[in-house]
Amino acid sequence: MSRLYPDAPRVGVSVLCHRNGQVLLIKRGKAPYKDHWSLPGGLVELGETLREAAERELLEETGVKAHLEDPAETFDSIQRDADGTVCAHFILAVFCGAYLSGTAVAGDDAAALEWVAPDRLDDRLTTPGTPERVRRLLNGCDQGS
């Protein structure tokens, strides 16, 4: 199942895990957007629900568990090369949840990770729309943790 120049859109998930007013970001270790900071996430596997995929990806990439319910947002991420050919197409469901447990350590596809305050998002190279998405969704998340 190719992520670059796919034959169909790929379904993925990402997780806005928050704790004490900060969000957990990973530095992507692979294309697309290698070395960009992003919410942890990845592709949904066959037989897996969106929530199960979000829980798995968060744990694999960060070692952390969060309280996840329904997706907070769904959007398309489509990239085209210079001649207009679709080189990547993802349909992404974003989950938002409070940190529950675990020690945050970069794993799987993450080159690094960090808890980041929303007002520090503009100081780093991020995947498209990440700072705006974090700020918008964080306002709607349960801030109990």
pLDDT recorded at residue 145? 44
pLDDT recorded at residue 118? 95
pLDDT recorded at residue 30? 86
Q: How does pLDDT run across 43-84, given as a tens digit for each residue?
A: 999 999 999 999 999 999 999 999 999 999 999 999 999 999
Show the low-confidence residues of the chain (pLDDT under 50). Answer: 144-145
pLDDT recorded at residue 95? 98
Collect all residues with Cβ–Cβ distance below 8 Å to 41 and sequence separation of at least 6: 12, 13, 14, 15, 54, 57, 58, 61, 92
Kindly report the pTM of this predicted structure: 0.91
The residues spanned by each domain of the chain are: 10-140
CATH among 3.40.1160.10, 1.10.420.10, 3.90.79.10, 2.40.110.10 for 10-140:
3.90.79.10
